[in-house]
Chains A and B, each alone.
Chain A
């Protein structure tokens, strides 16, 4: 995606997929996390992960789809965990 073509009011954010998801990071245009969700829903392979993933914005876990995003924000998807 080319930055100068983005729509007014939208931010360019980086989405990264942690642990077993095994997918390269992608750049997404979005105002809020809801916009990110709409983009990721279109990817059949990702869809199955969305149900079980938690979400962090700039390394903070978030629980609100209306979380606003700004240019350069990093959105991380965290699948179910098991340490030890």
Chain B
């Protein structure tokens, strides 16, 4: 249910596959979130690193929470460069009815921003620059800073 792709996502293909998957399982609600790279500050692309073992564990914990509410989550994310006006992130919730899906998509996407082990870089003139200002510290950060 977690898909990782090099470069930009083929959003239409993924969307269609997910939609058919949900229809066959009789889900009445299918909500997607698609994150698209905006042209700003002269960037050519965003670029991503991720740490797959922890990302999968984070995702599986969310999948369990979703299942307790009768819903299923799917997610796709890019690694490497993703040019402006293409997409790096898709998330979806399937549920029998809309209420749970509407709530879950917000909770899931917000927690993704704060806790998924993914690192973002701006790409300018071919150079990757870590997006430190837009990044958030994970729980327990600073543990090894014993001098501080």
B51:A82 contact, CB within 8 angstroms: no
CB distance from A45 to the nearest CB of B (A): 14
Interface of A is mostly: mixed
Write out the residue numbers on chain A whose beta carbons fall within 8 Å of the beta carbon of B144.
33, 36-37, 40-41, 50, 53, 55, 65, 77
In the assembled complex, A24 has its CB within 8 A of some CB on chain B: no
B137:A54 contact, CB within 8 angstroms: yes
B116:A83 contact, CB within 8 angstroms: yes
Contact residue range for chain B?
Answer: 35 or more
A63 to B142, CA, bound (A): 9
Knowing A19-B51, A54-B137, A61-B54, the reply to whether A81 touches B143 (Cβ < 8 A) is no
A82:B137 contact, CB within 8 angstroms: no
CB distance from B128 to the nearest CB of A (A): 8
Most buried by B among A38, A61, A64, A77: A61
- CB nearest to A77 among chain B residues: B144
A17 to B73, CA, bound (A): 30
B135:A79 contact, CB within 8 angstroms: yes
Write out the residue numbers on chain B whose beta carbons fall within 8 Å of the beta carbon of A65.
143-144, 146
| From A41, A79, A82, contact of B146 by CB (8 A) | A41
Q: B19-27, B64-72, B96-104, B118-126: which lies at the A interface?
A: B118-126
Chain B residues within 8 Å of A, Cβ to Cβ: 35, 48-51, 53-54, 57, 77, 88-89, 109, 112-121, 130-132, 134-148
Could you show 18 A-B contacts with beta carbons less than 8 Å apart?
Answer: A19-B51, A19-B130, A33-B144, A37-B145, A38-B146, A41-B144, A50-B144, A52-B137, A53-B141, A53-B142, A54-B137, A54-B141, A61-B139, A81-B114, A82-B113, A84-B77, A84-B112, A84-B118
**Given A37-B146, A81-B114, A83-B89, 17 more pairs with CB closer than 8 A:** A18-B117, A33-B144, A37-B144, A37-B145, A38-B146, A40-B144, A41-B144, A50-B144, A50-B145, A52-B142, A54-B138, A54-B140, A56-B54, A81-B117, A81-B118, A83-B48, A84-B89
